[in-house]
């Protein structure tokens, strides 16, 4: 059975480091060669959002209703004891 010596491990680490560095340099060169991004002139211009018409009332949005459960059993709405829900007898 072959054993791996520290010298073999250092050599392998150098090879992996050199390969990673080479890949990094290649990717940087590809990025530089690609050039900056430019917007396409064929894309349609953004349309402005519709604005409110003066004198027109906005529709009323109902408030969301959340179920009020008596989770702590004290007879009042709310959560567990200590969070402000229910009746304080002191």
In this prediction, residue 82 carries a pLDDT of 54
90 pLDDT more than 90: no
Q: Would residue 50 count as lying in a domain?
A: no
Rounded CA gap, 22 and 32, in Å? Answer: 15
DSSP-assigned letters across all residues of 31-88: HHHH------TTSPPPPPPPPPPTTPPPPPPPPP------SSSSSSSSSSTTSS-S--
pLDDT band at 75 (very low <50, low <70, confident <90, very high): low
Domain housing 15: 9-33
Q: Would residue 74 count as lying in a domain?
A: no
Q: Would residue 52 count as lying in a domain?
A: no
Q: Would residue 17 count as lying in a domain?
A: yes
In this prediction, residue 30 carries a pLDDT of 92
Domain count, the chain: 1
Rounded CA gap, 19 and 69, in Å? Answer: 62
Kindly report, residue by residue over 6-61, the tens digit of the pLDDT.
Answer: 999 999 999 999 999 999 999 999 988 887 777 777 756 677 776 767 777 777 87
């Amino acid at each position: 059975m072959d054993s791996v010596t520290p010298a073999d491990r250092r050599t392998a680490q150098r090879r992996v480091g050199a390969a990673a560095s080479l890949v990094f340099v290649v990717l940087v060169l590809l990025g530089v060669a690609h050039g900056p991004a430019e917007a396409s002139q064929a894309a349609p211009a953004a349309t402005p959002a519709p604005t409110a018409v003066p004198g027109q009332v906005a529709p009323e949005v109902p408030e969301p209703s959340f179920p009020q459960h008596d989770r702590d059993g004290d007879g009042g709405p709310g959560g567990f004891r200590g969070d402000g829900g229910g009746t304080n007898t002191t």
